[in-house]
Amino acid sequence: MSRKRERVMIIHDILKAIEEKKGSARPTHILYKSNLSSQMLKEYLGDLIDKKFIEITKDKKNNKFYTMTDRGYKYLQDFHIIKNFMESYDLTE
């Protein structure tokens, strides 16, 4: 029941960082906006890919981008309901 930034909030911050770049952001931008260490961010991005919230895409110059999926947008849309429910029963991870 620690009061550190909860997982549900960190995921929200990462997705918000991608959303503000029109749904597709470079890893450096996400790192800057999410306020995480690069190791932690790597773990979270891996988790978000597993959850199908984001996917890796590449531009013509072969630069790596993280792009939001429909499921990621849905998470942001329902974020307050998810957060309220999980906080009510302290289900945050």
Partner 1 sequence: MSPSWFFGFDVILEVMFAVICLIVALFSFKIYKDTKFRSLKFFGFSFLLISLSYMIQSIFNFLIVSEFNQDVCRIIRVHSIHNFEALGIITHMFLMTLGLSILLYTTLKDKRLRTLWLLILISFAAVFFSKNNLYMFYLISTIYLAFISWHYILNHYLTKQNKTLLVAIAFLFLLFGNFHFLISVNHELFYAIGHILELFAYLFIMLNLYLVRRR
- Which one, 8 or 41, has the nearer CB to partner 1? 8
CB of 2 to partner 1, least distance (A): 9
- Which one, 63 or 77, has the nearer CB to partner 1? 77
d(CA 82, CA 91): 10
- Which residues of the shown chain bind partner 1 in the complex (CB under 8 A)? 1, 3, 7-8, 50-51, 71, 74-75, 78, 80-82, 84-93
What's CA 6's distance to the chain center, in Å? 12
Q: Where are the alpha helices (DSSP H) in 1-93?
A: 7-19, 27-34, 38-50, 70-77, 79-88
CB of 5 to partner 1, least distance (A): 14
